[in-house]
Structure 1
Amino acid sequence: MLNEALAGLAASAGTGLVSAMVTDGWQQARTRVARLLARGDAAEEERHEARLELARREVMEASGKQAEEVRRLQEWAWRTRFADLLEDEPEAQAPLRDLVAFLAEQAGPAAGIVQVNAQATDHAQQAVQGQGIQNNTFTLPDGGV
């Protein structure tokens, strides 16, 4: 059984991999993961690439509530594969850490849904920025600044 740090590494790799499935860097991520899991066996590398493509297709085709469940299941499956790798070959820690760093780069900055609810009365004014650059000019009801 893996210690907490290695279990966390496997979990990060699984989550990062599934996140990479919807990025432009997917091809490179797929190749790196397949190579790592194949441990130098060309036939195994091909098998892992096919498995990765199938997983990606499932993630890409799922929608609504199903999408969240598919993603969660894929993260768990790949987390387990990475944990198995670490149990079988403890020296795989460094390459797996490199993979996690690569996957984090592919993911880019975290983004999520931003919802803003604002209400102003009388002379009150509001300016809300979710991300990026925002320029605001406020004027008084009579046209003054």
Structure 2
Amino acid sequence: MLSESLTALAAMGGSAVVQAVGTDAWASFRVGVGRLFGRGGADEQAARVTLERLDRVAVALENAPDATDAERVGAETASAWRTRFEDLLDGLPEHERRAVETELRELVEAARRAGAAAGGHSAGHHGAVVRGDLNITAEGGSAAAFGMGDVHLGAAPGPSVPGPLEG
């Protein structure tokens, strides 16, 4: 069983796969991950399979029809690669694990830097990052927002209408 720090590293590795796609660092990141799974050239078949998987990931993320689909594909991808990294780390002898851990940390950091350099930002769950202008308007008593939680529309209680003047 992996330590918490290695499990966290595997999760960061899964996220880094998604973060690196489409950046200038993708090519070297891809090769680095292939090298990890191919054990530095000792298992060329594993390296080749890894590179093919990464290529499919890139295509799926880059061709997502909308932001919702891209988010879903990204989450599935990060989860799948987390499991792959966990299995890789768990299956290595201690001396090899330390070397792979070091290299994976370097790849994660390179993906983070590439994402930041590409203007990558992150918004938490139910968040959104918008580059450029975002204009939202509501007219005629309606409500408008980029994302809304519970919204109830209707007449708001206001001042009572005065009755006829007495006098």
TM-score of Structure 1 vs Structure 2, range by shorter chain: 0.7 to 0.9
Tell me the SS of whatever aligns to 2:23. Answer: coil
The residue aligned with 1:33 is 33
CA distance in 1, matches of 2:134, 2:58: 33
Q: Could you say which structure has the larger radius of gyration?
A: 2
Matches for 1:1-145 after TM superposition, within 5 Å: 1-39=1-39, 40=41, 41-64=43-66, 65-89=68-92, 90-91=97-98, 92-108=100-116, 110-111=120-121, 112-113=129-130
CA distance in 2, matches of 1:49, 1:116: 38
Q: Deviations over 1:38-89 (max 9, x none)?
A: 1122222122111110111111111321111111000001111111111112
The residue aligned with 1:127 is none
- Provide the aligned C-alpha RMSD in A: 1.9
For structure 2, the 5+ residue unaligned runs are 122-128, 136-167
Query: Which amino acid in structure 1 is aligned with residue 30 of structure 2?
Result: R
Query: Which amino acid in structure 2 is aligned with residue 12 of structure 1?
Result: M
| Matched length | 117
TM-score, with length taken from structure 1: 0.72
Is the Cα–Cα contact under 8 Å of residues 25 and 110 in structure 2 kept in the other structure?
A: no
For structure 1, the 5+ residue unaligned runs are 118-145
Tell me the SS of whatever aligns to 1:62. Answer: coil
Tell me the SS of whatever aligns to 1:67. Answer: helix
Query: Which amino acid in structure 1 is aligned with residue 53 of structure 2?
Result: R
Tell me the SS of whatever aligns to 1:113. Answer: coil
Query: Which amino acid in structure 1 is aligned with residue 78 of structure 2?
Result: E
CA distance in 1, matches of 2:87, 2:110: 20
CA distance in 2, matches of 1:37, 1:59: 22
**Most deviating of 8-17 and 38-47:** 38-47
